[in-house]
């Protein structure tokens, strides 16, 4: 039976603050380094970073040989004692992380040992490299053409997780590693729930689509100074001018050249759970009956809450004033131990006289108004509802206000289809018609990071992996 040594470390420059981890897998007999992993987590606590490093190391070892014995060496007394079963895990955010670590290998295959920080220099260096990269708006990457090591990181889930975790997601993410793998879902026209127009003007009767743009204390000294740099790969960003109140104004996409943009303000965008109108595919904006969640919607909200708790990076919760978003936000915020702030600016579009109707019913009753609305973002729904152009101006102004108020923080925005799609569209600098080409499911997660130079980076879109059994 093979035996691996896993050395892992994590840190937060502040607690919470910009955080990252590093992990190394080596052969216990030869001492050869077999795999490395590192990741910038956005804003997180020391404890979360340590546990994320442990998870990355265990998963990398499992990808190499799931039958191997593993000896974990860490300079975090907290993690070692908790994972060895000698200390109780009191903090609710730590319990799911520890449980996840225990599931990587069968019981009895993993042992733990505390080591001094000086003996954990390799993992410590990787963690600092990841944090340094994150401070520049970049992502840590292995050097050279080490295909095997990169394959190990992919198999372990860390490469996919990097995308969501850098947003404070989940990632996403952000959410868990499985959620992070959902980045970059194909866009298209899929009938999914309430609040919406068709993805194409020629959709058949009744084929409604959504409305477009929808503790434990750390061990003493567990603070990381700025470490060495290297092995970073810059990430592409799309941009808008900082502080711009115009929904349509944007810079050309490109690579950020700023040497240090600091930690971005990250919006994790959660569409609310299902309501009774969702499976009926009816328009449900801010001018209708204001339905609450259905039982299915409340279960979806609970699953989102658990996924976000595993990530441990959300620092504030902001919700639209409508009943379905406030109820979703309350369920999630209670699990995260946070309060909910209501923000009028992220409410859903007012669909006027179309509220409560299916797309087929609107086509039958108001064909001319519907055709005009589908062709022109300045057009209003029948009865004086809100145009998509007006919605975009409102969302852009709210975005700028929230970015300024939450600089460097990760904020969960619990909102609707139109606001989420609008934020994604503006971040990409995409034209209004792109709103009809995005799928956004109930209780899905998306994420956008906003940097100090005005650039925006879409990190996650329409992830629903947390809803699957």
Q: Which residues are known catalytic residues?
A: 272, 348
Nearest alpha-carbon partner for 61 in 94, 77, 37: 37
The whole-angstrom separation of Cα 378 and Cα 303 is: 37
Nearest to 241 by CA among 460, 377, 403, 415: 403
Helix, strand or coil, per DSSP, at residue 348: coil
d(CA 248, CA 188): 23
CB neighbours of residue 298 within 10 Å: 16
How far is 99 from 114, CA to CA, in rounded Å? 20
CA-based diameter of the chain, in Å? 76
DSSP-derived letter for residue 345 is: G
Structure tokens belonging to residue 213:
């743009």
Q: Quote the DSSP letter at residue 171.
A: B
Phi-psi category of residue 85: left, alpha or beta, with phi > 0 → left and psi -120 to 50 → alpha: left
Task: Considering only CA atoms, give the Rg of the chain.
Answer: 23
- Give the integer Cα–Cα distance in Å for 101 and 181: 19
Structure tokens belonging to residue 42: 């956005």
Q: Please, which residues have CB within 8 angstroms of residue 227's CB and are 6 or more apart in sequence?
A: 124, 125, 127, 128, 129, 131, 132
CA distance 120 to 333: 36
């Amino acid at each position: 039976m093979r035996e691996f040594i896993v050395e892992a470390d994590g840190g937060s420059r502040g607690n919470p603050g910009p955080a990252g981890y590093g992990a190394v897998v080596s052969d216990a007999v030869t001492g050869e380094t077999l795999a490395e992993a590192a990741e910038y987590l956005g804003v997180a606590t020391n404890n979360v970073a340590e546990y994320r490093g442990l998870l990355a190391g265990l998963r990398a070892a499992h990808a190499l040989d799931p039958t191997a014995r593993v000896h974990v060496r860490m300079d975090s007394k907290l993690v070692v004692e908790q994972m060895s079963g000698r200390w109780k895990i009191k903090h609710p955010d730590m319990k799911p992380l520890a449980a996840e670590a225990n599931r990587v290998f069968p019981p009895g295959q993993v042992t733990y040992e505390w080591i001094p920080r000086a003996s954990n220099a390799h993992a410590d260096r990787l963690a600092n490299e990841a944090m340094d990269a994150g401070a520049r708006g970049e992502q840590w990457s292995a050097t050279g053409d080490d295909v095997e090591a990169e394959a190990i990181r992919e198999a372990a889930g860390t490469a996919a997780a990097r995308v969501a975790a850098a947003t404070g997601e989940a990632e996403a993410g952000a959410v868990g590693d499985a959620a992070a793998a959902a980045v970059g879902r194909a866009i298209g026209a899929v009938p999914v729930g309430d609040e919406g127009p068709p993805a194409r003007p020629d959709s058949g009767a009744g084929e409604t689509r959504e409305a477009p743009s929808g503790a434990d204390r750390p061990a003493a000294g567990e603070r990381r100074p700025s470490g060495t740099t290297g092995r970073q790969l810059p990430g592409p960003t799309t941009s808008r001018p900082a502080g711009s109140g115009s929904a349509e104004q944007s810079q050309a996409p490109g690579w950020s050249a700023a040497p240090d943009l600091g930690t971005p303000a990250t919006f994790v965008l959660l569409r609310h759970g299902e309501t009774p109108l969702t499976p009926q595919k009816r328009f449900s904006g801010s001018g209708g009956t204001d339905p609450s969640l259905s039982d299915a919607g409340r279960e979806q909200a609970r699953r989102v809450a658990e996924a976000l708790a595993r990530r441990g990076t959300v620092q504030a919760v902001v919700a639209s004033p409508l009943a379905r978003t406030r109820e979703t936000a309350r369920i999630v915020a209670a699990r995260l131990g946070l309060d909910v702030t209501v923000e009028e600016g992220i409410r859903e579009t007012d669909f006027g006289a179309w509220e409560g109707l299916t797309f087929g019913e609107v086509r039958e009753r108001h064909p001319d108004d519907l055709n005009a609305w589908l062709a022109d973002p300045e057009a209003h729904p029948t009865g004086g509802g809100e145009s998509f152009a007006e919605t975009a101006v409102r969302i852009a102004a709210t975005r700028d206000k929230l970015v300024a108020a939450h600089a460097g923080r990760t904020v969960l925005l619990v909102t609707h289809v139109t606001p989420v799609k609008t934020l994604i569209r503006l971040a990409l600098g995409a034209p209004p018609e792109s709103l009809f080409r995005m799928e956004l499911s109930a209780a899905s997660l998306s994420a956008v990071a906003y940097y100090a130079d005005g650039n925006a980076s879409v990190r996650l879109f329409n992830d629903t992996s947390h809803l699957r059994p």
